[in-house]
Amino acid sequence: MNSTDRRPSSVGILVPAAVVLTLGHAAFLFLQPFNRRISAFLIVYTVLCAAIGALALFVRRRTIDERTFRFDAALILAGALFMRVMLLFTAPTLSDDVYRYLWDGRVQNAGMNPYLHPPAAPEIAYLRDETFPFINHPTVRTIYPPLAELTFRAAAAIRPRVEFQKVFSAVFDLALVGVLLGLLRARKKPAAWAALYAWHPLAVVESAGSGHVDSLMMLLLFGGCLLFERRKPGAGAGAFGLAAMAKWIPFVMAPWLIVRARLRDSAVFLAAALVLCIPFVMGLLVAVQALAPDATGATGPARDWVFNAGLYSWLAPVLPEPVHRRFVLGGALILFAFWWARRNEDPVRYAFGALFALLLASPVVHPWYVLWLLPFAVLLGSFAAFLWAWSAALVYVVQIRYAADGVWILPAWVPAVEYALLYGALVVSFIRQVPQPRAETRRMPPIPDPRVGIVIPVLNEEHAIGLVIAAIPRERVNEIIVVDNGSTDKTVEIARMAGARVLHEGKKGYGSAVQRGLLALSPESDVAVVIDGDRSDFPEELPHLLRPIQLGEADLVIGSRVQAALPGSLMPQQRFGNWLTCVLIRALYGFRYTDMGPFRAIRRTALTEMRMTDETWGWNVEMQVKALRLGFRVAEVPVRYRPRIGQSKISGTITGSVRAGVVILWSIYKYGFSRR
């Protein structure tokens, strides 16, 4: 095989990506210490995440090529190694956990049980050195499981410096990349997918930069999944047990083992965990006793930690007592875990779902916790997890004030943005997995010479309605109906003087007014057109809108404003609402709308079959969703759009925009999942 066989997959994509991402990670070296340059850090981090997203667009489309798998794997590992080496000897300023690792290792090498005394205890004061002030929560006993403690001890035995703790973490993370490559190969996936984790800034920063022990946990957890993939359930269960001794989190695998594995595999899981506890048993008993409530009902400090929480914080108004929230969420997680285990035979999919649920309910969510999801997200293609890997880094803005005055308070906007993006992505992912009924596309005959009925809903448009009617091309227009929705100005009189037929609709709502006009169209009109009465649309473009129906290419034509809108005509909230609505509809049906514009044309036969019912701002959404569900052909044509005359009833105010947004999102749900 010559080298040209490899170029399309590795040289053509991975090598340029490796160069770009390596240079991006090198930029971190100029931002030391991170906690003093958080804004710059987040900018570089965002650029790197965007680069990973761009890389994902290429590699996720590829299929496995056995000829290049080893070459690609070696390139990915080499890039991952180089990116991590650059951060190994930088100060761990984003997190001080590694100083606790070093302390616990030194305590053990001094011949003591690390669980017996907190760092501030006088019994071990003689071990304090220049790193002691950096230890977090010095009055709290260590919370790390036995295997993690043994790892801390081994790193400290080589040399009692934080850099060696970080080296261990980076090595475990590189080994995790190797295990991920093994799982990709076992599942017939291309090696290039592994780059999405191996070169991700979260993985690099948290393993090599901050030295978190989570990489050991993930190595063993993912290794267990690979062993189950290779039909070695006993070894896989043992790996899960060891993972739980690196960090307590992998105990979430217990329900899956109970439901899916053999009884002896569950026994191996427990045995692997318990064996490692034996050397520390006395200290563990003391540590557990310290967490129990005292006579006054107070608990140990570690039991009350809350930081960047999602569901846990949101439940506070309903369940103000932390113990009640922990009980409710803990019970819910256990029930979910067993239900999820029954639905998923694959340990990878189960672990991903269980860890995701745990993080959503956790009282503490640090950025490196999201790292638990990323290797699974590579295999399963979870956009939500990768989005969270970016948004979780916003939490580091807490360092800005902490570095200035020592106050550790997370600004409220950070979790608001973080969880809004996350839950939005989860909703989209959920909707995309729900099969939606969509009829086969029909073919209706052309209408070369259509008779057009135009409906214009209005509410206090006296300065615009006359101009709108005057600008309508009269060729093929059979009738113009203006539907007044309760105007208190001269809109009705001006519309009549302009030659329109005026109807009144007493029930407030955009959908009510439009529907009133459509039902009143004469039978001779075989195409219905809706246009706003505020002169934001250009009625002169009506022939352009009708052409796809005349040619038999479409049954519904939407005038898309996004490309030709004049400056100041579409407010930011309108653009965002349009984008979000179109994204959700695309997730449901795979059809790419670009706009929910009001200027539209539809065959009367298609309109009759739709049985429109919405009385509010969701009317446009109902029409566009039902058109797809019923199999009608849809087209979009670019139209101009200008600032309206007067103030908009929807986008002109924040309240109106929010109300309209809620109605539109509800309409997507209602018409997307209804049977009609």
Which of these, 305, 417, 316, 311, lies nearest to 356 by C-alpha position? 311
d(CA 452, CA 541): 14
Contact (CB, 8 A) for 167 and 154 = no
- How many residues are listed for the chain in this entry? 676
Cα–Cα nearest to 322, from 368, 364, 365: 364
Residue 30 CB partners (closer than 8 Å, separation 6+): none
Burial of 227 from C-beta contacts in 10 A (0-12 / 13-18 / 19+) = buried
CA distance 621 to 629: 12
Please tell me the distance from the alpha carbon of residue 33 to that of residue 466, in angstroms, as a whole number: 65
Residue 525 in 3-state DSSP?
coil
As given in the structure block, the two tokens for residue 410 are 């997370």
Residues of the chain falling short of pLDDT 50: 1-9, 293-299, 302, 651-654, 675-676
Residue 93 phi, psi (nearest 5): -90, -15
Residues 6+ positions from 114 with CB-CB distance below 8 Å: 104, 107, 108, 142, 149, 152, 280, 283
Q: How far is CA 205 from CA 41, 50, 372, in A?
A: 11, 16, 14
Q: Are 288 and 116 in contact (CB under 8 A)?
A: no
CA dihedral 404→410→413→419, nearest 10 degrees, is 140
Q: How buried is 81 (Cβ within 10 angstroms: 0-12 exposed, 13-18 middle, 19+ buried)?
A: middle
> Structure pTM?
0.69
Q: At 148, which amino acid appears?
A: A
Nearest-angstrom CA–CA distance, 454 and 666: 28
CB 368 within 8 A of CB 214: yes
User: What is the identity of the amino acid at 132?
Assistant: F
Tell me how many degrees the CA angle 497-503-508 measures, rounded to the nearest 5. Answer: 125
Among the listed residues 640, 583, 598, 464, the one whose alpha carbon sits nearest the alpha carbon of residue 535: 464
Question: What values do phi and psi take at 597, rounded to 5?
Answer: -60, 150
Separation between Cα atoms, residue 212 and residue 413, nearest integer Å: 26
The CATH 3.90.550.10 domain(s) of the chain lie at 452-673
Token output for 276: 């490692």
**Structure confidence at residue 589 (pLDDT):** 76
Nearest to 372 by CA among 253, 209, 228, 214: 214
384 within 8 A of 185, measured Cβ to Cβ: no
Selection from 82, 190, 100, 83 nearest residue 138 by Cα: 100
Distance in angstroms between the alpha carbons of the first and the last residue of the chain? 58
The span from the CA of 293 to the CA of 303, in Å, is: 10
CB 605 within 8 A of CB 589: no
What is the pLDDT at residue 676? 46
Spatial neighbors of 180 by CB under 8 A, at least 6 apart, are: 194, 197, 198, 222, 375, 378, 379
Residue 17 CA to residue 75 CA, distance in Å, equals 11
Handedness of CA 531, 641, 631, 430 (dihedral sign): negative
- Residue pair 208/95 in contact (Cβ under 8 Å)? The answer is no
What's CA 145's distance to the chain center, in Å? Answer: 31
Lookup: tokens for 443: 């073919």
* Amino acid in the structure at residue 266: S
Q: How far is CA 219 from the centre of its chain?
A: 24
Residue listed under structure tokens 């070296």: 29
Please say whether the beta carbons of 7 and 65 come within 8 A. no
Alpha carbons 468 and 536: distance in angstroms, whole number: 9
Which amino acid, 415? P
Furthest C-alpha separation in the chain: 98
Element (DSSP H or E) covering residue 459: none
pLDDT of residue 165: 96
**What local confidence, expressed as pLDDT, does residue 577 receive?**
77
User: 453 by DSSP, 3-state: which?
Assistant: strand
Beta strands in 485-555 (DSSP E): 501-504, 527-530
CATH of 452-673, picked from 3.60.130.10, 3.40.220.10, 3.40.47.10, 3.90.550.10, is: 3.90.550.10
pLDDT of residue 647: 67
Contact 215, 334 (CB under 8 A): no
Strands 556-565 and 600-603: antiparallel
Q: What whole-number distance in Å separates Cα of residue 633 and Cα of residue 657?
A: 30
Give the β-pairing of 634-641 and 501-504.
unpaired
CB of 612 within 8 A of CB of 623?
yes
